[in-house]
Amino acid sequence: MIIAIPVVQEQLSQHFGHCDYFRFYHIDKDKNIILTEDKTPPPHEPGVLPKWLSAEKANVIITGGMGMHAQRLFEQYGIEVVLGAPSGAPECIVQEWLEGKLESGENSCDH
């Protein structure tokens, strides 16, 4: 499994389309992080990031907020979207999600 986190200033970005880069966590069958990669996304335009993240083999994206159009596109690509995640260290957020302990709030994006 590959989990993608949008990152701004080493914290989870509250809006996935406005991040500095994405951190990809490769997870083994025992839910251990086995590889971490940082990748710069293409310029943000409608529809570009879901296609790019699908090409990068992401299975899950965890973010604070995301517009409805992007959510629908991720669904079409078969990528699970976790919304309302708090700002924080990306690895801690991934670990909480893997353990079923991530408390998500409201979608911080209103479009």
Q: What is the pLDDT of residues 60-94, one digit of tens each?
A: 999 998 888 889 999 999 999 999 999 899 999 99
**Was domain 2-98 assigned CATH 3.30.420.130?**
yes
- Distance between CA atoms of 59 and 76, rounded to whole angstroms? 12
Give me the half-sphere count of Cα atoms (radius 13 Å) on the Cβ side of residue 40. Answer: 1
Residue 58: both structure tokens together: 């992401």
pLDDT in tens, 8-60: 999 998 877 788 999 999 999 999 999 999 999 998 788 899 999 999 999 99
Rounded CA separation 74/78 (Å): 6
CB 75 within 8 A of CB 20: no
Instruction: Read off φ and ψ for residue 93, nearest 5 degrees.
Output: -65, -45
Q: What secondary structure letter does DSSP report for 80?
A: E
∠ at Cα 92 (87, 95), nearest 5°?
Answer: 125
